[in-house]
Structures are given as structure tokens and as C-alpha cells.
Structure 1
Amino acid sequence: MTDMLQFDTETARRVEAVYSTPDVIAQRAEVRALLALRPGEDVVDIGAGPGFLAAEMADEVGPHGRVHAVDPSASMRGLAAGREAPIEVDDGSAEALPLPSASVDVAVATQVLEYVVDVRQALGEIRRVLRPGGRALVLDTDWDSIVWHSTDDARTARVLAAWEEHLVDPHLPRTLGPALAAAGFEVAPPRVIPLLNTGDDRDTYSAGLVPIITAFVRGRGGLDDDEVQAWADDVAALDDATFFSLNRYVFVATSGR
């Protein structure tokens, strides 16, 4: 297990800011379109973070549906509980969901399972809490898909190599399809949601990611404060020459009846 990113109060606020960017708002819209939630459905958002997706799903399932926002971070749960939406915020992990068996119609885990040590256990938990015929959506990133322009490619490679230590499996999507099938799901062909930032706009996923990366990688992989700050200053100064691309991979699966 790696020394993963800790979602303390400061990091939680930084993540909240990143999740407020148009890039991630558009990603959530694609996720909701794939789910096609219906009024009255019960949903669990696993690793709900600051609660944006949970709140949006609560609007879609309406007053007769329920959305459970589950997260192990007290800071994240505090942010989720502050959303103006009727969501139920619970302490819990992907490997031990605080829900009865066969209690929800839909389970969602976005940018979560790559942090999980026992993915097989987590998928078993998703299968357990879903009702027969229930739907699961899992979204994770393969961090080898990242393209981030800078004036010093070698330095950027060192920073991104150290950043990969923030989670358990930086390449999880490569094995998610077979893992879902082994857990008893019927799995649709995966989809990709690209995040692409170009130009001098600062209200982007990549711009918001920079302070999270710099706070995490200092002292890792031989990186000192000066080198990390030089990288951050470099990518921020590119302005019109900014180019960032990263792929999210989405798996939609159905539990057996």
C-alpha cells in the first residue's frame, strides 16, 4: 500500500474547488446521462467526496428516492452535508458499505476504487448492496494517459511519478472490466471521458490540480521544495501554450437477477 493522499480539511477544500470547474461539472453530467436515473430510485454514492454528484442525483431521483453519500473522510462528509439537497451522509468505505444487502437500485464510485487496497472486496460490497438487476457505475483514471506540456519534460515526469504515489493503483481501469465480471456483473463496453485543457483559462481541472500535486509530492522521489515550486510556476506561466489531457474510464455494469 502506498502513502496515499490524505483528505484533511485543506485538501478537501482544494478538491471541492477542482470539482467545481467546468471540466468536472461536464464529467458529472456524462455520468448522470449514463446512469439515466429514474424518480424513486435509491442510490449510493461511494466515496462521495464534497457531495456534488450526490446532490445532483438527489434532484433526479426526487422526493420518493434516496441518495446515500458514503465517505471515510470527516472533512469530505462535512462538505457533502452542507449541500442544499436531501442526501444522507454516512461514514464508510468502499470495502465496508454501511447499508443493508439488496437496499439500493444504483451504486456509483467515481475516482474511488483506485484508492482501494482490496478492489475485489469493494466490488463484492457493491454487488451485495444492489438489488437484483441493479446498476453500478465505476469511473477511474489511468494516469499513464496524462499529457501535460511544460518547458522541462524530465522535471514534469519526476513530479508525475511522485504524484502516482497518492493512490493504490494508478492504472486500475486496465483490469476493472474483468474484475467486475468476476464479481458477477454483466459489464457493458467501457467509455472514455477525456479532460482537455488548453489556453490561458485558469478555471480548469489541471490548474486546480497543481496545488494538490505540489502539496503531496514535496519530499517524494527526491523532489525538494524548490524543484516542485519551479514545476508549478512553469505550468502556470504557459498561458496560451497550456496543454493538458487526461482520460477517465467509465464502466457500467448490471448485477445478476
Structure 2
Amino acid sequence: MLKFDGNGARRTERLYASPDVEAQRKYVMSLLAPQPGERVLDVGSGPGYLLALIAEAVGSTGATHGLEQSLAMNELAAARTSGTPWAHIDEGDAVALPYPDGTFDAAVSTQVYEYVADITGALSELRRVLRPGGRALILDTDADSLVWHTADLELHRRVLAAWEEHLVHPRLPRTLPGLLRRAGFEITGRHVYVMFNPQMAPDSFSIRMMDTMANFVVGRQGLTEADAQAWRADLRARSAEGDYVYSMNRYVFLVTAI
């Protein structure tokens, strides 16, 4: 698993500050559409970027709660939402939400449930803390949707196989519809958000992910530091030759608590 200690949290914060992830947050906000006065939960709130936007949307007559296991992440989120005292940062687990039944009007979870082993329990907990008729937005990635142009296909395959070790459910979106229905939700919308980098810009999502992945895979699947550097060099060569392509699908489900 990835570590979200002090250094890991700051790396994640820098990744989430990229223009690509900022655009994703705007897309999520347009679909979730938090309203003034609503109570909204962010499961896996991380460094608090999305939580801060939700807090601004619901205003002082509403409330937001960001739930996160990492103390380092919670410190970043608390600093980011310090100007909105109705934004609360809570330490906890997605499979045991520390809130009474029916607390929230809406909830959101982006890139979180793919890390949760007990996905059935986590979705049941999400349903429990939503009021009847409350809504939720869930966004996760299917690892098989990745398109990343490389010359050394075998090395690339090994890197991706090693990278998958940081996930519990690398292909979660294809099973989410049934899981959501069984947890007590009605699916009201399905969307695909594409992370697309047609070039290797310095602040692009893919170049920041490339560094994170190269660090993670060393020592896994037989990969060495030299392998990781060769993989990075291959991708940079594709950029230099003008044939760089990165694309990843993120699947969005909008649901209502029955």
C-alpha cells in the first residue's frame, strides 16, 4: 500500500494540486452540486481540496465532514479549511463511519473505495449515514483503462503489474453497480471522466504519477532501480519524439439512498 505519512501526504497534496486533478474536482462538484445548508460527507478527504470547495458551497448554514485515516492528511485538510469552521476533519475508517444514522444529505468519495478491503461493509456504512433520499457520488479507476505509450512493452507490463499491488480492487468500477444496489442505493447516473495527457507537460498528472510509480515498484515483481529508471527514460523518449500519450478512465456513479 502507499504510505500517507508526512512525506507521502505532501506528495499527494502536490499531485492533487495539478491542473488535471483540479479539473476533475470541478467536474465532481458540478455533478454533486452541494447546496447551501446541506450536510455533506467526504469519505477519504485527503489533503482537503474537495472538502474546501464543498464547505464554500454549503456555507455557514451547512456542515461538511472530511473522514480520513491519515493524521498527516488531516493536518493538511485542517489548514486548508481553517477559514470555514463548519468544515470538520474526522479521523476514521470507511467501514466504521463515526456518525449517527441519516446524518448527511449527500456524500462523495473519490479514488478511495479501491483501497478498501471490505467494500461491502463500506458501502453499507455509507448508506447508513445518508438520510433516505440522500445522494452520493463515487469515483474510482479501472486499472485496465490505462493507455500509456511505451517502446518496451514487456517492462511496461511489469511496472503496471507491480503498481497494482498498491490497490485492493484495481478493477472496482466494473463491479460497483451490483455492490451499490445491494447496499441499498439506486443508481441515477453513470459517467466517465478521462485523465488525458497528450504531452508530457511539467505539471501534468501523468508525469507526477510516473515519479510515484517508479519509486513504488522497485523491489516488486523483480523490478530493480535500473528497471524503474529505464521505464521513466522510455516515457521521456516518447515525449521527446512527439508521440507521448497518457489516458486513464475514472468511472463516476451517482446514487440515491433508497
Is this a same-fold pair by TM over 0.5?
Answer: yes
Distance, in Å, in 2 between the alignment partners of 1:224 and 1:254 is: 46
Q: Which runs of 4+ in 1 moved over 3 A?
A: none
Aligned counterparts, 1:24-103, within 5 A: 24-84=21-81, 85-86=83-84, 87-103=87-103
Task: Please give the per-residue CA displacement for 1:131-157, whole angstroms capped at 9, x wherever unaligned.
Answer: 111001110000000011122121111
The answer for unaligned runs of 5 or more in structure 1 is none
- Give 1:17 deviation, angstroms: 1.1
Question: Contact 1:141/1:172 (CA < 8 Å) preserved in 2?
Answer: yes
Distance, in Å, in 1 between the alignment partners of 2:7 and 2:233 is: 21
Q: What's the % identity of the aligned pairs?
A: 50
The answer for unaligned runs of 5 or more in structure 2 is none
Deviates more, 1:139-148 or 1:69-78: 69-78
Aligned counterparts, 1:1-257, within 5 A: 4-84=1-81, 85-86=83-84, 87-239=87-239, 240-256=242-258
Question: Contact 1:196/1:246 (CA < 8 Å) preserved in 2?
Answer: yes
Question: Contact 1:207/1:236 (CA < 8 Å) preserved in 2?
Answer: no
- Give 1:241 deviation, angstroms: 2.5
Q: Secondary structure at the match of 1:82?
A: helix
Distance, in Å, in 2 between the alignment partners of 1:114 and 1:62 is: 30
Question: Contact 2:189/2:255 (CA < 8 Å) preserved in 1?
Answer: no
Distance, in Å, in 1 between the alignment partners of 2:54 and 2:200 is: 32
Q: Secondary structure at the match of 1:250?
A: strand
* Count of residues in correspondence between the two structures: 253
Deviates more, 1:140-149 or 1:208-217: 208-217
- Give 1:101 deviation, angstroms: 1.3
- Give 1:233 deviation, angstroms: 2.7
Distance, in Å, in 2 between the alignment partners of 1:67 and 1:189 is: 23
